[in-house]
Amino acid sequence: MRERFANGFDPFVIPFLIGMAFVLGYCIVAMFRIIIQLPKADRKRFLLTLITPKYIWMNIRDIFLNCLIHVKLWKRNKVLGYMHSSIAFGWFMIILLGHLEVILFLPNRIHLFYYPIFFNYFVAETESTIQGSLLMFLMDFFLLIILSGIVLAIIKRFASRIVGMRRTTRLSLMDQVGLYSLWAIFPLRLLAESFTAHISGGSFLTIPANWVFRQFLGNDLHALPTWWAYSIALCVFMCVLPFTRYMHIPAEMLLIPMRNAGIRIRHPRKGFALLEVYSCPACGVCIDACPMSVRKVNCKDTTVYLNRMLRRGNERRIEEISDKCLLCGKCTAVCQVGVQGPELRIAQRERRAYALSPSYSAINVRPLASAVVHGAGGESGGVLYFAGCMTHLTPSIRRATASLLDKAGVRWQMMDPENGLCCGRPLMMAGRTEQARELIAKNAEIIRASGCDTLLLSCPICYKVFLEEYKLEGVRVVHHSVFFEELIAGGQLQVRRDDGLKLVFHDPCELGRGCGIYEEPRRAVAAAGELVEAGKHHAEAICCGGSLGSLTLSYDQRRPMTRNALENLTVANPDQIVTACPLCLATFVRQADRPVRDIAEVLDAHC
Amino acid sequence: MDFGFKLSPSSAVNLDTVDHARYDRLVQLVPDALTCIGCGSCSATCTAAPWSGMSVRKVLLGLQRGRDDEVDSMLSKCMLCGKCTMVCPRGINTRHLILTLCRLSRKGEVVR
Amino acid sequence: MVNRTPVIAIIGAGIAGLEAARQLSALGYEPVLIEKAPVTGGHVAEWNRLFPDMSPAADLVQSLEAATAKVRTMTGTEIASINRLKDGYSLVLSDGNILVCQAVLFATGFHLFDASKKEEYGYGIYDRVITNRDLEQWFNTRQDERIRHPKAVGFVHCVGSRDVKAGNTQCSKVCCITAIKEAIEVKEAFPDAEVYCFYMDLRLYGKKYEDFYIRAQRDLGIHFIRGRVSEVGEDIDGRVVVKAEDTLSGKPVKVTLDLLVLMSGIVCNPDAQSYAQQIGVAIDDDGFLKSRNNLGSIVESSRPGVFFAGACTGAKTIPETLAEARSAALAIHHYFNNRG
């Protein structure tokens, strides 16, 4: 290999350099801004992980697997996985191999930024070596991979159903500019390299292309303009990148280490929240996933549009989207980047100003506390069962739970036989965290007074907040589905299995995606009958539509969501629908065409 | 006018002078509030009722009758648990109603 | 007019179907009654006594059955499908026969709302929670494990009526007066029992209905509480604890009862909806069948040769249903006259 030009420069690299300088500068400034915006403790924690070997390894691995290979997307949709990883990994490899070429053949030019990118323009092949042709082959190979990805991307844009997406995002103008410049980069590179392949050498793609072009193009005059075009496409892409969805590429590389460090959203618009917004690739997977999208008008209320509105600062729409969401968490479950849609929305809700704020500090819980002390007969230990607000409206759950506890011989008493306080989770969902803390303190007082060692919940909404926000040392917080499964496994509950009874389990959002409990209730259900699965289940289960998470959805708007969730549950034609949440139960029971039961009812009927 | 006895100002409602700006704004933002039939389901089921006498039914009436202090005191213990939404026969989103009301000043402006 | 006697398929042999069949045969037509249940008489046959005269329901049903003894009646017969012909309809019956008719009369009546769908009232969970139908059956048989000399009885109006969550926003029209009638009967059966009626609005508009109300108040001391029951719990003795708001005093009330009667509302018979869809008869947004208009042509559908009688178009009292059945018979008569 030898250099074609002594000065190693041509003006066509200038657009590329401008783009590169701009995007690097922008990203570095943005990165520092985000890090500075973190609360001090979070910042310290994050910076510490950057120098901890365990975290360094974790970060490198996650960035490689997620940003380049897109493993999560592969698991979800092979076509989309291939499309994304072909472009991301292929591009990465081309850049890497470009650098290798420079190091190998012209190590004196490695300090020039643009050399690895435009290598084939600046060199002429003098002799063919094994390393040389291997590198050339790999370059062509990865270029081909990328081009196949681009072809898929073009197909996806115009016919998203072919790649398995019902709906995809509508692009903003900037996104379109970014998209088309990205599509242009690689065909232009192929053309440019093909035109100069008889000088610089090439491989299976560029050499034949060069031969074909030379058959009808008499001269080399079009080579330089094509290199210009390639450089300009790169420049356009990099210059618009910060204002498009492609910002997710650099943002995700910061998001992954921050998430590994355990950073959470503390401010609705700054720090980690801002980073999540920029990490959204606007792929639109959350649109099909969102339970609200059964109504076409609600497609624009999905997380991808929340992120877009947050970037645009459209306050009216931010409020609307934030308040409408059911907080079911499915968008996060399917998101390739893991943007926390519900948490982002709760953060927006927290920011709101109120003329009137409730206060519970004046509530005297001593009578409630002394009732549970009295109920325990002065003995400590035992199970304290908190039915919660919603279970009071579903007496079947309360009754079945009590009956099962008695059958298993558990020493137990009820925390709220007549009335109690709310657990605080609905307030937290509404963004009123301060007020929720007051309720949490009050309930904790009652629980501590009872001297129990287990707090049993039949409502996943309560369960999540008791588990995460209450500081109850020495008290095990357990959901009834898990507790009964243990009693069955331990032999304290003998369940007769009805082999002819087909049961489907509906994962309540707060129990499944919220607390990661999927298998225990299924084992319990399988003890009573034949367990069948819904169309979408586990982390991809569909919210019943009754969620307290949504502040503004009306009953009429929720009804089609419930119907859709029921259709999903009945694909295997079960005899009964089993759930483990009073709210899901009450929501389903009125629209279902077959019995809907709480898991406790099903077990109690078979004990 | 002399009735020969005193009408206590706190127990009579003079609809001529009642200021219902807050109610007007509320029903503008949550039109469903207009469909309340006053069945009392929400009051009977309310988790906060034992502590503040909270009742969405009474809140809506109080707003229309100029009983702002009573309304605010009832709202002060609402825990947003959602039971009232569950039982409402007219399907009123009472949580949305309460949260919206909490954002309004007495003059009916949304506080920022 | 066609040469042979027109055949009119009457779907449902409740009081509407029976009355229409009687009138149509008197007019010289050939009605055919198709009834899914093994006996005729519909819901009324399950009832005990009827307001406003407190006459036995059995008397009404028997007189209608006697008057239609000669009408071809197929009980225990379901309709598998129903199709449109060039000038008539064909019904494929569950016994495999096909009935070709020139007109169809929907006398499909109503369904009582399934009270177990109102989870919070605990029907099917608590033994002491029953429905209006259960109570009427007890009046008939005086045999029900759940009813054993109650000291306190509650009636919940509007269960599955005027309730968007239950899928029925309409008033069921007859439950208020039925509740008062049944409350009176319960009080007469158990004079020492306290009886409570929990209502949202009392809608007592018919002839002599107000007399029932006055009698319940003045003579029997039945308590009327204006508030919808929101929760039903259970105490240690298995009695039911009812929570409601007494909206007139603005205070929450709680009362412990030995028996709670849910006044299940009237919803459209789902079979009627399915038949209507098969022959392109419109269903109204309240779930009932849609009349051509709701003033002068309640018994006519928008499709020629399809008529309605009774509760298939909405909640009705017995006199209204009977009047409609006669009116439908006349409408059918005019239909054939005009065709000729």
Domain architecture of chain C: domains with CATH = 7-109+269-339 (3.50.50.60), 115-266 (3.50.50.60)
Query: Are A356 and B79 within 8 A, CB to CB?
Result: no
Contact (CB<8Å) A552/B79: no
Task: List, in order, residues 6 or more apart from C75 with CB less than 8 Å away.
Answer: C13, C35, C37, C38, C39, C40
- Residue with the two structure tokens 């292929």: A90
User: Which residues of chain A does CATH 3.40.50 include?
Assistant: 487-605
DSSP string, C128-147: TEEEHHHHHHHHHH---TT-
Share the mean pLDDT of chain B.
91
Reference A424, options A392, A469, A390, A454; nearest CA is A469
Top-confidence residue, A327 or A218? A327
Residue in this structure with the two tokens 């307030």, named with its chain if needed: A427
Contacts of A557 in chain B (CB under 8 A): none
* B55 close contact with C: CB closer than 8 A: yes
Cβ-Cβ pairs closer than 8 A, A with B, add up to: 89
The architecture in CATH of the region A270-349 reads Orthogonal Bundle (1.10)
pLDDT of the residue at A77: 84
**pLDDT on residue A321:** 97
Judged against a pLDDT cut of 80, whether residue B2 lies above it is answered with no
Where do you find CATH 1.20.950 in chain A? 7-249
CA-angle at A538, arms to A532 and A540, nearest 5°: 115
Q: By the CB < 8 Å criterion, does C117 face chain B?
A: no
Residue C2's pLDDT band, with cuts at 50, 70 and 90, is very low
Q: What is the pLDDT of residues A146-183, one digit of tens each?
A: 999 999 999 888 887 777 777 778 888 999 999 999 99
Contacts of C126 in chain A (CB under 8 A): 395
Give the pair of three-digit tokens for residue A462.
């309560």
What is the pLDDT at residue B10? 59
Chain C CB within 8 Å of residue B40 CB: yes
Nearest to C58 by CA among C66, C269, C20: C66
CA–CA dist A242, A21 (Å, integer): 13
Residues 6+ apart with CB under 8 A from A233: A181, A184, A185, A188
pLDDT beyond 80 at B1: no
Structure tokens at C102: 């020139």
Burial (0-12, 13-18, 19+ Cβ within 10 Å), A178: buried
- Any CB–CB contact under 8 A between C249 and chain B? no
Helices then strands, counting H and E runs in chain C, come out as 8, 20
pLDDT at C1 over 50: no
Mean pLDDT along residues B65-82: 94
d(C-alpha C277, C-alpha C233), whole Å: 41
E strand or H helix at A302? none
Place of tokens 């919210």: A543
Q: Which residue has the higher pLDDT, B78 or A283?
A: B78
Give the pLDDT confidence of C206-221 residue by residue, as tens digits.
999 999 999 999 999 9
Separation CA A509–CA A514 (nearest Å): 6
CB B21 within 8 A of CB B108: yes
The domain made up of A487-605 has a fold known as: Rossmann fold (3.40.50)
What number is the average pLDDT over the span A129-144?
A: 91
Flag if B39 and C229 touch (Cβ within 8 Å).
Answer: no
Residue A110: per-residue pLDDT: 85
| Cα–Cα distance for residue pair A374/C268, rounded to 1 Å | 51
Say whether pLDDT at A548 is over 80. Answer: yes
Q: Is B58 on the interface with C (CB under 8 A)?
A: yes
Distance spanning both ends of chain C, measured CA to CA: 3
SS3 B100: helix
Express the helix, strand and coil content of chain C in percent, nearest 5 each. Answer: 30, 30, 40
Rg of chain C over Cα atoms, rounded to whole angstroms, equals: 22
How far apart are the CA of A289 and the nearest CA of chain C, in angstroms?
Answer: 26
Contact between C159 and C115 (Cβ < 8 Å): yes
> CA A498, CA A500: separation in Å to the nearest integer?
5
Closest residue to A396, CB basis, from C119, C164, C231? C119
Restricting to A residues 365-394, those with a Cβ less than 8 Å away from any Cβ of C are 392-394
Which residue type does A38 have? Answer: L
Residue A159 confidence (pLDDT): 80
Nearest alpha-carbon partner for C9 in C75, C73, C63, C85 = C73
What is the per-residue pLDDT for A398?
94
What ipTM score was computed for the predicted complex, to two decimals?
Answer: 0.91
Q: Residue C92's beta-bridge partner residues?
A: C81, C98
CB of C228 closer than 8 Å to CB of B39: yes
Long-range contacts from A485-491, C-beta under 8 angstroms, 24+ separation: A485/A520, A485/A521, A485/A523, A485/A524, A486/A520, A487/A404, A487/A408, A487/A410, A488/A523, A488/A524, A488/A527, A488/A603, A489/A523
Contact indicator for B91, A403 with CB cutoff of 8 Å: no
Q: CA-to-CA distance for A294 and B92, rounded, in angstroms?
A: 22
Domain A7-249: CATH class, spelled out: mainly alpha
* CA distances (Å), origin A361, targets A337, A364, A448, B101: 41, 8, 18, 21
Which chain C residue has the Cα nearest residue B92?
C164
Residues of A in contact with B48 (CB under 8 A): 422
Q: In what order do the strands lie in the sheet with C79-85?
A: C79-85, C88-93, C98-101
Q: A600 to chain C: which residues are within 8 Å by CB?
A: none
Residue of chain A whose Cα is closest to the Cα of C254: A418
If one counts every other C-beta atom within 10 angstroms of the C-beta of residue A51, the result is 8
Summary mean pLDDT of chain A? 93
Instruction: Extract long-range pairs of A359-364: CB within 8 Å, 24+ residues apart.
Output: A359/A435, A359/A438, A359/B76, A360/A421, A360/A435, A360/A438, A360/A439, A360/A442, A360/B51, A360/B77, A360/B79, A361/A438, A363/A421, A363/A442, A363/B51, A363/B77
Interval A50-69 mean pLDDT: 94
Q: Given an 8 Å threshold on Cβ–Cβ distance, is B40 in contact with C247?
A: yes
Interchain pair A422, B79: CB under 8 A: yes
Which of B36, B37, B45, B67 to mutate to test binding with chain C, by most C CBs within 10 Å of its CB? B45
Q: How far apart are the CA of C115 and the nearest CA of chain B, in angstroms?
A: 15
Give the nearest chain C residue to A582 (CA atoms).
C119
Task: Calculate what percentage of chain C has a pLDDT beyond 90.
Answer: 94
Residues 73-92 of B with CB under 8 A from A: 75-83, 86-87, 91
How many whole angstroms separate alpha carbon C42 and alpha carbon C14? Answer: 4
pLDDT at A218: 73
* pLDDT tens-digit map of C39-73: 999 999 999 999 999 999 999 999 999 999 999 99
Neighbours of A219 (CB within 10 A): 7
User: Which residue of B41, B99, B112 to mutate against A (max A Cβ within 10 Å)?
Assistant: B99
CA separation, residue C69 to residues A283, A429, C4, C29 (Å): 71, 66, 22, 15
Touching A (3+ Cβ pairs <8 A), the chains are B, C
Domains, in order of start, for chain B: 21-102 (1.10.1060.10)
Are residues C119 and A392, on separate chains, in Cβ contact within 8 Å?
A: no
pLDDT band at B6 (very low <50, low <70, confident <90, very high): low
Q: Which residues contact A558 (CB under 8 A, 6 or more apart)?
A: A545, A546, A550, A587
CB contacts of A591 in chain C (<8 Å) are: 167
β-strand partners of C152: C194
Q: Which residues pair with C307 in a beta bridge?
A: C105, C300
The answer to whether A282 and A304 have CB atoms below 8 angstroms apart is: yes
Specify the range with the lowest mean pLDDT, choosing from A277-291, A458-472, B1-15, B17-31: B1-15
Positive or negative, the CA dihedral A231, A232, A233, A237 is positive
Is residue A419 predicted with pLDDT exceeding 90?
no
C230 to B87: CB separation less than 8 angstroms, yes or no: yes
Report the C-alpha gap between C245 and C254 in whole angstroms. Answer: 8
